[in-house]
Structure 1
């Protein structure tokens, strides 16, 4: 059983913020930082960068403080007898960097929402969210060292996925995170398993599939909405990625409007 006593996200404090519980809480405390902070670890205060997680077990000394103009975190106090908590491999009281802080932040937002519902309806959802959160924490803890560009790459990838129709170029992407184009291609593929331009193409084709499934657009209109200035190029890439032409894909899933302007693309 798991019970949340309190959960909050985007908790903001000034530069004088200090959290000091010498005997700890009688329950678990999980803190995820969004800004730099100092934590009491191994008998002394240590500086930690943003996007760290730290798990305190019941009755463990808790001490952390702001070390910048503002301190912001997500945190949760809870009790649980679930093995994914009580038998976790995570360290207690020692911050470690998160590989995907935005994902964890969204889980905290969902936990706040679920915790506001009546007890009868929230227990299974809360347990599922906490299990997912602890899985993400374990992934982060056992991941190789996070590079200085890690979080910039995550933001860049989010921008690509949120706006795939933008005319992305390697030079522009490299400029956004202030590194060379060659280095961007190297570290992007190492982190995500595909090149930055392949990620753009995957995002555009994914968007095109949604248009083909759910909207009354011609192939030419979909190509334009997905960032293609040449409809034949769009059709070739779509078939290369999906094994099907846009027209054939539509026949099985969507509601494509067939127009005369699309005759070349939809009848390959």
Structure 2
């Protein structure tokens, strides 16, 4: 069971902010930084860049401070006897970089919203959000060498997946990150195991399959909505990836839905 005493996102502190609890809290404290900060680690004060998380166990020394004009973080203080927290493999009192800080930030926003309103199902919702947050942080711990371009790359990839129909080009993507097209292609594939344009293509085909399954658009309309200006090119690319033409895919999808409806009767 978890008992959340307080949770906050986007907490803003001035340049002189210091948080010093030599004997620690009698509960757990999780902090996620959105700006650079200094933490007391291994007997000395060390500076860490933004997008780091640090988990403090009960009665563990806590010391961190601002190191710029402003310090911003998300944080939660809670009691827990849940093994996914008490027996977590996350380091204690030592900041580690987050793979996807925006995802973790959204979870904090949801935790704040849930904690603000008393509901019958609140405990289950809070536990689900905390489990998701701790699992996401564990994913970050197995990653190595999260470089300075990692977060802009994550932002770019999210934009591609959310809007595959946009007229993406390698040159335009590289320009948003202020790097060369060649370097973008190199680090994108190294980070995600797929080239940036292949990511665009697969996102477009995934969207096209959704339209073919559940909408009444024509093949030409779907091609246009998915970012293709040439229907023939769309059909060739769709078949190359799925093994069937868009028309055949739609026919198969309709048959599956019909068969399911007949079974339910």
TM-score, normalising length: structure 1: 0.89
Aligned match of 1:222: 222
Aligned residues: 254
Q: Is 1:24 matched with 2:24? A: yes
Q: Does 1:72 align with 2:72?
A: yes
Q: Which residue of 2 aligns with 1:92?
A: 92
Q: Secondary structure at the match of 1:19?
A: strand
Q: CA RMSD in A?
A: 1.7
Structure 1 unaligned residues grouped into runs of 5+: 255-268
Q: Distance in 2 between matches of 1:154 and 1:27?
A: 33
How many Å separate the matches in 2 of 1:177 and 1:57?
38
Q: CA deviation at 1:196?
A: 0.5
Report Cα offsets for 1:146-167 as digits up to 9, x if no partner.
Answer: 1221111111111212221222
CA-CA distance at 1:178 after TM superposition: 2.1
Q: Which residue of 2 aligns with 1:189?
A: 189
Cα distance, 1:207 vs structure 2: 1.8
CA separation of 1:239/1:51 partners in 2, compared to 1, >3 Å: closer, same or farther?
same
Which residues of structure 2 form unaligned runs of 5+? Answer: 255-265
SS of equivalent to 1:120: coil
Aligned: 1:236 with 2:251? no
Q: Distance in 1 between matches of 2:68 and 2:216?
A: 52
Q: Distance in 2 between matches of 1:73 and 1:24?
A: 19
- CA deviation after TM superposition for structure 1 residue 235, in Å: 1.1
Give 1:213's aligned residue: 213
Q: What's the CA shift string for 1:197-236, capped at 9, x where partnerless?
A: 0000011112222222333321111111111010011111
SS, match of residue 59 in structure 1? coil
TM-score, normalising length from structure 2?
A: 0.90
Structure 1 CA distance, aligned partners of 2:119 and 2:221? 48
SS of equivalent residue, structure 1 residue 6: strand
Structure 1 residue 119 displacement after superposition: 5.5
Which residue of 2 is the match for residue 59 of structure 1? 59
Q: What does 1:1-268 align with in structure 2 at a 5 Å threshold? A: 1-118=1-118, 120-253=120-253
The runs of at least 4 consecutive aligned structure 1 residues that moved more than 6 Å come to none
